Amino acid sequence: MLTVMEFLMDLALTCETIGPCAVLHCDGRIVFGPHADYLVKRCTQIFENYRALALELSGVTVLDSGGIGSLVRLLNAARKDGKVLALISPSLKVQQVLEVTNLISAFRQYNSVEDFFTPPLAQAATA
């Protein structure tokens, strides 16, 4: 398992990987501007080497329209490339934004990192 930690202002991203899967732990604000751009850039880099990525969002304190737009762009790009983008444990703030924007059902959601790793690893083992 590889873990990498990065910080930008008040958004911290920590990546862990197992096999073909990656989890990006996000703590802080995902908002329009450098924060959302940083998240997109990091996710794009991860998708170069992994086909399944989950964003662990329990530590996200703010998600604005720029942040939600970035999540949707990432989701669309992943689907276009046959990859998986999922969410793990979205914070109450994130959950509220997803519900208000009717995007709650657009994303696969998992309760824990372990729940996310299980299906993709099982698929990879049988492929």
2-8 and 11-18 beta bridge pairing: antiparallel
| Distance, CA of 21 to chain centre | 12
Q: Give the per-residue pLDDT at 58.
A: 98
pLDDT tens profile 25-76: 999 999 999 999 999 999 999 999 999 999 999 999 999 999 999 999 999 9
CA 21 vs CA 27, 63, 67, 71, 88: distances in Å: 20, 24, 23, 18, 13
Burial 51-67 (b: 16+ CB within 10 A, else e): bbbbbbbeebebbbeeb
pTM over 0.85: yes
> Where residue 11 sits, what CATH number does that domain have?
3.30.750.24
Q: Give the per-residue pLDDT at 2.
A: 47
Q: Give the per-residue pLDDT at 118.
A: 82
C-alpha 125/C-alpha 61 separation (Å) is 36
pLDDT: which is higher, 101 or 20 = 101
Q: Judge residue 12's burial from the number of C-beta atoms within 10 Å of its C-beta, 0-12 exposed, 13-18 middle, 19 or more buried.
A: middle
pLDDT tens profile 4-15: 455 556 899 999
Q: What is the DSSP letter of 38?
A: H
How many domains does the chain fold into? 1
The boundaries of the domain holding residue 86 are 2-126
Q: Give the per-residue pLDDT at 126.
A: 47
